[in-house]
Amino acid sequence: MMLATVLIDPPTALFAGGILALISWKLVKVNLDEVWRVGQLSAAWGLAYGIGVGWWFFFRPDWMFVYTTDTSKLPLVPLYMLFLFICTLWGGLGGLGVALLVHLKKPALAVTAFASAILGWALFLFMTLDQYTHVGTRAEYLAGTARALAEDANWLMASNVSAVVCGIPAVGIIVLQVRRMRAS
């Protein structure tokens, strides 16, 4: 049931945390406190990301669950709370894991962990690419009548808003870390 965008979103948060750890390389390689800071900032971004994609959870839930189930019978609010927790956790783990490997002077393993997160994300996307490119109800998708994403004006508007909701915290966190690296 859960092979869905709700499965691709945690790996997105995971590799975003890894990106922050790699950006913060200079800080985390010498200071364990910075490893924890990267984990916390990555978790914060994972939460922001989960919030940023929340519109789909409630307004295109069949798409969010990649048409694997009829979401009209699911308790979306509790599931969304769980989803936010998981995105936060995975974001934090991505940042913390890669940063810790950098701190432990295992750069090849840090890069491998990061690359593995991206490959996992790409695998999920590949497995569900057709579902991701069509929007409608489960019945519409199974009947072959779900529209292409570009035909759903609300989906496109939500994508633009989501980019801002996810992008502003990402840019802010990166700017913070870059400034901290320059100051050190």
Ramachandran sector of residue 27 (left: φ over 0; alpha: ψ -120 to 50; beta: rest): alpha
Residue 8 identity (one-letter amino acid): I
For residue 7, what pLDDT band results from cuts at 50, 70 and 90? confident
Please give the DSSP secondary-structure letter assigned to residue 134: E
147 CB-near residues (< 8 Å, 6+ apart): 134, 135, 136, 140
Greater model confidence, 41 or 2: 41
Tally of domains within the chain = 1
Residue 90 identity (one-letter amino acid): W
Look up residue 13 and give its two tokens.
Answer: 């948060």
Average confidence (pLDDT) over 66-86: 94
Closest CA to 23 of 37, 9, 8: 37
* pLDDT in the model for residue 124: 87
Please give the DSSP secondary-structure letter assigned to residue 31: -
Parallel/antiparallel/unpaired status of strands 147-148 and 134-135: antiparallel
Q: Of all residues in the chain, what percent carry a pLDDT higher than 70? A: 97
pTM of the full predicted structure?
Answer: 0.91
What residues make up the domain containing 32? Answer: 5-183
